[in-house]
Chains A and B, each alone.
Chain A
Amino acid sequence: MAATPNPTPVEIFESGDSALRVVASSDDTEANWATVHALAQWLETAGADGVHGAVPTYDSLLVEFDPGVTSARQVRAFVLLGLRQLEHVGAPARTPRDFSVPVVYGGEYGPDLERVAEHEQLSVEEIIALHTAKSYVIRCLGAPAGSPMMDGPDFPLPVPRLKDPRLSVPAGAVAVAGRQAVIAPAAAPGGWCVIGQTPLTVLDAASEPLVPYLPGDRLTFRQIQPEEFAEYAGRKLEAAR
């Protein structure tokens, strides 16, 4: 987690009787992201009666609480206290870990690869080269099931979502949409363009935590051949060091 010596200003919105939305409202997207994640971490560590937890994404944070124990007003004060603390002491720094993800691109593993290439007016090889070129920062854990949400590869154009979302996308699907990239930890319906699949097991419901990465960790993709899929199958995704 990047240290945030100066958290950005935030706006706090009511979101029903059991949640608040906190939005970092500066022009610096990187600082916004660092602020909401540092704040989420502070809220977890500090803990307050009746506060269930916080869900940080890009520039926003959903803080959920039990209205029988605490209230929107009290939780708002708790959030503001956290921000003042972060201004004084900064966020606790965590060394990011690196994950390397083998991917079989195209064919039955990536049914939308050619469509994406066509849309970007690039060759399939160029799409794969761009997708494997970059080290991605995991921005947040999203739906479904702790998906690693990442800023997308450096394609020329944003990738449109499927007009008809698939009823089921398999676990391990490697997908892109808009300017975002993701791996599906579990089978679920999805409207993102699937360009490949990793044979690694991302989500292990028998272990805690369920997924091995946290926001702030880094991830790279590397191409493997379809023949190698079985060799990796069943292995768990693990940090490189």
Chain B
Amino acid sequence: MSGSLIIQQPGNSVVTDLGRFRGPRFGLPVNGALDQFSARAANILAANADNAPLLEITALDFRMQATTDLLIAVTGAPLTLTVGGRECQQWEPVSVRAGETVAARRITGGLRAYLAVHGSVEAPELLGSCAPDTVVGFGLRLSEGTELKTGRSVGPIRQPYFDLPLFRLGLTRPEFGSRAVIDVTDGPDVEEFGDTAELLYTTEYTVSARSNHIGLRLGGALPERQSSAEVLSRGVPVGAIEVPSREELLVLHRGRGVTAGYPVLAVVTSRSLDTLAQARPGHTITFRKTTVPEATAKHRAAIRELENLRSRVSTIFALLGIGKEPGWPELIPAAGS
């Protein structure tokens, strides 16, 4: 049975997914959830595919009402989550009964929260992704009264004893705080900055209020390019650190223009891009140099942790009868047949 949810207070929220991976070859940024770990975790906790459409709630209070019984999960920046007035836990599956209001208030420590609904929500797609693209003017930005169709309804699951937390899923939650250490690898153009490149590792940077999904702007001592030869436009990766002006360091995030003509000093690792997605204006950033193999190992460790979470969630949900389509299980042919 499908249902819907109705947005009562949108704050600053959109429907997104992990990104438009086919976009860059057509000149469109990848976009998608800025904190990929939290977005994947929310979907996994709601027994969805990692890339299923979900809600990204940035900075401001959010409220919605369910028209059917739902199962949701909220991850990302710490906030106060209430369902029908009861305070609920982030980073675990939460039952919502038809008619109840879900409120995500007082986002603190970080900037972005993710709300996944079991069965996901319907959203239009462009090049195989529902991720909003502000330049093309595509995507589902939520406003008061927006009705989102949901895939599946789930009856309430409730711990009968004292409303103790129902699940012990053992996921290590990311840390959120006002000081972040960001891992970077040397960029392809690091030599153009000469000795000044070292400033990146010895300076405390402050996140500017002009930061957004396209890039974070950081104030502090700036490495300086030693040559002034014109650079032809070329593809720049998400995470590229550039020094386009004398005022700020620019760290490109998932909404970045695919091509640019500035030298790339360093590149933020995949894991640290999630951390940067949660940095608020005024937060302090320091950079730490790492290598591509180490960054890859950290990324894979995080993916393994999410896979473990998925297997625990699917065991529990199978016992509770959630997420199974009615029908015959696939039979393994008998040996020798």
Contacts and interface: CB of A to CB of B under 8 A. Distances in A.
The 7 closest A-B pairs by CB, nearest first: A143-B257, A62-B235, A16-B267, A55-B235, A146-B27, A13-B188, A19-B237
A54 B233 CA distance: 15
Interface stretch (A67-75, A77-85, A120-128): A67-75
Contacts of A145: 27-28, 133, 135-136
B234 A208 contact: no
Contacts of A14: 185-186, 188, 292
A195 B318 CA distance: 63
A149 B258 CA distance: 13
A58 B259 CA distance: 11
A16 B236 CA distance: 10
Point out which of B29, B127, B259, B295 has the most chain A C-beta atoms below 10 A from its C-beta.
B259
What is the interface residue range for chain B against chain A? 35 or more
B230 interface: yes
Interface in A90-148: 140-147
B137 A58 contact: no
A72 B296 contact: yes
A143 B270 contact: no
Interface of A: 13-19, 21, 40, 44, 52-62, 64, 67-68, 71-72, 140-147, 149, 178, 180, 186, 188, 203, 205, 208-211
A61 B235 contact: yes
B238 interface: yes
Given A21-B234, A57-B259, A16 B268 contact: yes
B232 A211 contact: no
A15 B238 CA distance: 9
B57 interface: no
Given A141-B27, A142-B257, A205-B137, 17 more contacts: A15-B237, A16-B269, A44-B25, A52-B30, A57-B234, A58-B232, A60-B234, A67-B270, A67-B299, A68-B300, A72-B296, A143-B27, A143-B260, A145-B28, A180-B233, A205-B138, A210-B126
Nearest to A54: B25
Interface in B136-155: 136-138
B323 interface: no
Contacts of B133: 145
A147 B269 CA distance: 28
